[in-house]
């Protein structure tokens, strides 16, 4: 039985990944939270991975607060790039497959069509640049490596670095009757397909049976510190030849999330 280690195991993606891998019963799964490993410290990385000796390592650890990355570029690059390098070097030394989780924010959003693995990255914020640097360093340091880009995650744990996930934030604001201003000029792909954050929010409220009406605003009006790509929709060109199906539509994933968290959708779509 192969050993899979997951770094960032207490985070949003890491929590669900560990659960899914354990449920599969096909691997020995070792969960490494921030308490168990500091990716920015090469000794901590070597010690932790030396003790586990994984066949496959999935690095979900990251500094994910996109706006804070603008103010703290050193931390962004230390965790997302240099830390990823230390992990990849340790994988090379033990011949483990190194999987680095990356992001749609490596793209500038100007393509006008979904991005595939073949498109040339061009990040427009520090977070995206640090993650792209991480991709390059992982590939350079570890011959057995995979880069997996994902976008707009929503997991049961919620991104710790972001104080929850988008779905929970929208529902909580609706329940408190807080004003709901949501950006309508940025398109993303939560799992597969695409929507603006405003369309995503409207669908969340609809499925959750909440009465609130969000207000569509431009990203300029919203005023986030970091620029975001206008349309960073992702689609995979490499999964079909491997006979791996594309991810399910985001509406289906949203419905599953709401059922899992005890908020049955009001009606089908
Ligand atoms: N969230 C999204 O929408 C999104 C979109 C595209 C790609 N991604 C990528 O997906 C991956 C997972 O993101 P996520 O949403 O699961 O983020 P998350 O919930 O913030 O999880 C990241 C985890 O990494 C840990 N961590 C942070 N710095 C670390 C360090 N220096 N050493 C060791 N562990 C560290 C964090 O622990 P502490 O909280 O204790 O520091 C946290 O548990 C990341 O690579 C991210 O770039 C995320």
Tens digits of residue pLDDT in 223-247: 999 999 999 999 999 999 999 998 9
For the segment 167-212, what is each residue's pLDDT rounded down to a tens digit?
999 999 999 999 999 999 999 999 899 999 999 999 999 999 998 9
pLDDT tier for residue 89 given thresholds of 50, 70 and 90? very high
Indicate whether residue 99 lines ligand 1 (CB < 6 A): no
Q: Residue 34: which residues within 8 A CB-CB, separation 6 or more?
A: 8, 10, 61
Torsion angle, CA of 86/92/93/97, rounded to 10 degrees?
A: 110
Which residue, judged by its Cα, is nearest atom 14 of ligand 1?
Answer: 12
Which pLDDT score, from 0 to 100, does residue 269 have? 47
In this prediction, residues 17-26 reach a mean pLDDT of 97
* Probe target for ligand 1 pocket from 14, 61, 65, 98, with the most ligand atoms within 8 Å of CB: 61
Indicate whether residue 130 lines ligand 1 (CB < 6 A): no
**230/210 Cα distance (integer angstroms):** 28
Element spanning 101, H or E: strand 97-103
Which pLDDT score, from 0 to 100, does residue 265 have? 55
**226/223 Cα distance (integer angstroms):** 9
Ligand 1 centroid from CA 101, angstroms: 9
Domains of the chain, CATH where assigned: 2-150 (3.40.50.720), 165-260 (3.90.25.10)
Q: Is the pLDDT of residue 68 over 90?
A: yes
**235/218 Cα distance (integer angstroms):** 25
Indicate whether residue 13 lines ligand 1 (CB < 6 A): yes
Which pLDDT score, from 0 to 100, does residue 158 have? 72
Indicate whether residue 6 lines ligand 1 (CB < 6 A): no
With a pLDDT cut of 90, the percent of the chain lying above it is: 91
Q: Is the pLDDT of residue 267 over 70?
A: no
pTM for this entry: 0.96
């Amino acid at each position: 039985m192969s050993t899979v280690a997951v770094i960032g195991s207490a985070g949003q993606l890491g929590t669900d990944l560990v659960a899914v891998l354990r449920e599969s019963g096909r691997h020995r799964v070792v969960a490494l939270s921030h308490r168990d490993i500091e990716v920015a410290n090469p000794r901590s990385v070597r010690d932790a991975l030396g003790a586990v000796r994984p066949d496959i390592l999935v690095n979900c650890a990251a500094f994910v607060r996109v706006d804070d990355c603008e103010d703290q570029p050193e931390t962004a690059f230390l965790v997302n790039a240099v830390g990823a390098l230390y992990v990849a070097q340790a994988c090379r030394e033990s011949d483990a497959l190194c999987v680095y989780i990356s992001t749609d924010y490596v793209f500038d959003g100007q393509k006008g069509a979904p991005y595939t693995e073949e498109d040339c990255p061009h990040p427009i914020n520090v977070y995206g640049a640090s993650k792209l640097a991480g991709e390059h360093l992982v590939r350079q340091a570890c011959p057995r490596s995979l880069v997996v880009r994902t976008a707009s995650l929503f997991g049961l744990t919620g991104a710790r670095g972001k104080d929850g996930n988008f779905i929970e934030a929208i529902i909580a604001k609706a329940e408190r009757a807080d004003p709901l201003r949501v950006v309508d000029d940025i398109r993303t792909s939560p799992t597969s397909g695409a929507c603006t954050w405003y369309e995503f929010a409207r669908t969340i409220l609809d499925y959750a049976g909440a009465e609130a009406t969000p207000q569509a605003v431009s990203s300029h009006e919203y005023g986030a510190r970091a620029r975001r790509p206008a349309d960073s929709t992702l689609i995979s060109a490499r999964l079909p030849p491997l006979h791996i199906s594309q991810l399910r539509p985001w509406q289906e994933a949203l419905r599953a999330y709401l059922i899992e968290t005890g908020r049955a959708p009001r009606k089908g779509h």
